[in-house]
Chain A
Amino acid sequence: MTNLFLDFRIALRSLFQHRRRTLFLVSAISLVTGLLVLLNALSTGISETMIRAATTLSSGHVNVGGFFKVTSSQCGPIVTEYDKVVKVVEANVPEMAHWVHRGRGWAKVIADSGSVQAGVTGIDISNEPDFKRTLTIVSGNIDDLSQPNTMLIFESQVERLKVKVGDAVTLSAQTNRGAANTVDCRIVAIAKDMGLMSKFGTFVPVETTRSLYQLRPDTTGVVQLYLRPQYVKDVTAIAARLRNTLEKAGYRVMDPDANPFWMKFQTVNREDWTGQKLDVTTWEDEVSFLTWTLKVLSVLKLVLLTILIAIVVTGIMNTMWIAIRERTREIGTLRAIGMQRGGILRLFLFESFQMGVIGTVAGAAGGSLVAVLLNMANIKVPLGVQLFLMSDHLHLAVHLSALLGAGFMITLITTLAALYPAYRAARLPPVSAMSHFG
């Protein structure tokens, strides 16, 4: 143990003795760690924003939606007798924290100065505390959604409709039997944009969706299940289990299809069946048209990281070779006064390990600082980027676990990079090493 500590001290002193070389390598390690931390922060930030937006605007962690077909060519996003479905869910998903039900639809929102095609989600605002907490209301009062025929829209829709709180708009849609229908709504709240999904989403009381689509009170669009935080990562398994459970309970359940409900109309319309079919999806399915950005980012991160690590590994190995060549006589002397081969090996490994630790700590601190500064700067991203980020502002999420992971990985790689040069140094015969002139 004393030997180990001594080797550690010798390695540290050696680092300080070769300041320029150490500084160069530590800077490189620090840069790679910083970049890794920033890339992780960006992908985690996007992922978190996406989950938040998805589970606020259009999905639970797991959803039980479905389609009801009056005829084989006419389908609506409806769950009939949803209270019975909820009973099955409550009995079989112990991971669930709570559930809400929402109406689903698509309608033309018409104001005096313009119109937009938008998704119409019916909500019971008194039962949606997370929704209220997550949305930032810039005008009006979100609680007014408890009043009949009211509406919440987003800032980007205000630009197109040219409306303000208190103005009336008309929702025009077809019922599930194909009859034209309209409902006049009063805008009661305008919320801050939440990326792409808020461009085409509006919220009305669930009774308004029932009135617009002429639905019975025991129908809804989707039952959204919210899981306890520790189970959120298990959504796919929970959805698969729920699918089986519902089938056993006598429901017709659609095959798994990782797409949002509104992309399934064509498929469902092509199929020759009538009546009710349930569709169990996860939040990832409902935003699958956007999650490719995360996959692209992961691939990009991997490629970038591989290149940077290759550079660092090459740098460390080269530097070690140079150091061994410069310090061959020193190695010979150490061996001559009794240091074993293992000691020499440890010496160089410790040097590399110490550079790794110093570099990753500095890099993690630097990367975190940049991430914090970027978050504080509240940088607004262009519209095109908003669509992918699911937010109008850049958000980077730095977690301790990610920092520790990055630090551990880079330190391990830098230490292992020194393994072969250290092994070669340890194998040098003391006599020839001492007589080396280089």
Chain B
Amino acid sequence: MSRIRLSLAAAALLASVALPHVAHALTKPELVEYLKAVDERQKNQGDWRSMIYMEQKEKGKVDVAYEALVFRRSQDQKFIILFTQPKASQGQGYLRIDKNLWFYDPSVGKWERRTERERIGGTNSRRSDFDESRLAEEYDPEDNGEVKLGTYTAQVMTLHGKPDIDLAFPTLKLWVDKESKNILKREEYALSGRLLRTSFYSKWKKIYSESKKGDTWYPGEMRFYDEVEKANSTLIVIKGVDTKALEANQFTKAWLESKSR
């Protein structure tokens, strides 16, 4: 009997030492709240202007680099990417209005309707990479525990696309910094379950947003690695962020066309 008591005491002692390091599994509502917090940090709730630099490396091809301006308006989810460099791409742009993504090429003067999953400028980046985060609206999270990612302690979760929403990636896996709630790493999976793209968010920056009346966080640098064509990667740098109100008529085809005249 005393041996049993001794064993129980030892187990209790061990548990008291070990438990602070083993996080309890998050419940579904807790995870949803967690995801909402991730989204909330990146939300601007107003207008947004930034400059992006994109660099695409592909096996057997010359590296391609673009500079573009991104404009977005939170209230009606409008969005523009206007290419400024290289010269051959100047004036080309994407416009998202009424949940449709359009592409304009000034050399032919035509608008083409594109899918939301369009690879921007042929790189491995998509429109959603430059837009506000809507993870909690689009996905149901599942807890995968905590891991150490370098010096960060990351909450890992698998996100499954909600049934009635069309998503480019039906399954995601996120590594979120426990402390800041910034995304550190993201894996995107195909319907078949195959890993397609891994993204690393190495620099998070913040800007005060008048419309939000608080700080808005954005990734200063993103690196996308193609997991099917292993040698392909994309670097995105976001800079020159400005949250001042944009012109009322900016999110129109006419405005984008005027930029190439």
Contacts of A182 in B (CB 8 A): 190-192, 194, 196, 228
Contact with A along B158-199 (1 / 0, CB 8 A): 000100001111100000000000000000101110101000
Which of the 9-residue segments B66-74, B111-119, B138-146 touches chain A? B111-119
Q: Once bound together, how far apart are the Cα atoms of A73 and B97, in whole Å?
A: 12
Contacts of B76 in A (CB 8 A): none
Using CB atoms, name the residue of chain A closest to B192: A182
Q: Once bound together, how far apart are the Cα atoms of A214 and B116, in whole Å?
A: 18
Q: A114-B59, A182-B196 are in contact. Are A175 and B191 (CB under 8 A)?
A: yes
A174/B117 in contact, CB under 8 A: yes
Contacts of B228 in A (CB 8 A): 110, 170, 172, 182
- Find residues 32-82 in chain B having any chain A CB closer than 8 Å to their own CB: 59-60
Interface residue B129 (Cβ < 8 Å from any Cβ of A): no
- Find residues 210-251 in chain B having any chain A CB closer than 8 Å to their own CB: 228-229
Using CB atoms, name the residue of chain A closest to B117: A178
Q: Once bound together, how far apart are the Cα atoms of A214 and B166, in whole Å?
A: 13
Contacts of B168 in A (CB 8 A): 174, 178-180
Interface residue B202 (Cβ < 8 Å from any Cβ of A): no
Q: Once bound together, how far apart are the Cα atoms of A148 and B139, in whole Å?
A: 32
Interface residue A269 (Cβ < 8 Å from any Cβ of B): yes
Q: Which 8 A-B pairs have the closest CB atoms?
A: A181-B191, A269-B113, A182-B190, A182-B194, A180-B190, A177-B166, A182-B192, A178-B166
Q: Once bound together, how far apart are the Cα atoms of A266 and B191, in whole Å?
A: 26
Contact with B along A66-81 (1 / 0, CB 8 A): 0000111110000000
A: contact size bracket: 20 to 34
A179/B170 in contact, CB under 8 A: yes
Contacts of B107 in A (CB 8 A): none
Contact with B along A44-87 (1 / 0, CB 8 A): 00000000000000000000000000111110000000000000
Contacts of A266 in B (CB 8 A): 112-113
Contacts of A74 in B (CB 8 A): 115, 166
Contacts of A175 in B (CB 8 A): 191
Interface residue A183 (Cβ < 8 Å from any Cβ of B): yes
Q: A178-B116, A178-B168 are in contact. Are A183 and B192 (CB under 8 A)?
A: yes
B: contact size bracket: 20 to 34
- Find residues 120-169 in chain B having any chain A CB closer than 8 Å to their own CB: 161, 166-169
A267 CB, nearest partner CB in chain B, Å:
10
A76 CB, nearest partner CB in chain B, Å:
11
Contact with B along A176-193 (1 / 0, CB 8 A): 011111110000000000
B14 CB, nearest partner CB in chain A, Å:
45
A to B CB contacts below 8 Å, 17 in the list: A74-B115, A110-B228, A172-B190, A174-B117, A174-B168, A175-B191, A178-B168, A179-B167, A179-B168, A180-B117, A180-B168, A180-B169, A180-B190, A181-B192, A182-B190, A183-B192, A266-B113
Interface residue A115 (Cβ < 8 Å from any Cβ of B): yes
B194/A114 in contact, CB under 8 A: no
Interface residue B101 (Cβ < 8 Å from any Cβ of A): yes
Q: A73-B100, A177-B166, A179-B191 are in contact. Are A270 and B196 (CB under 8 A)?
A: no
Contacts of B167 in A (CB 8 A): 178-179
B56 CB, nearest partner CB in chain A, Å:
14
Q: Once bound together, how far apart are the Cα atoms of A174 and B192, in whole Å?
A: 12
B192/A73 in contact, CB under 8 A: no
A270/B190 in contact, CB under 8 A: no
Contacts of A180 in B (CB 8 A): 117, 168-170, 188, 190-191, 196
Contact with A along B73-110 (1 / 0, CB 8 A): 00000000000000000000000000011000000000
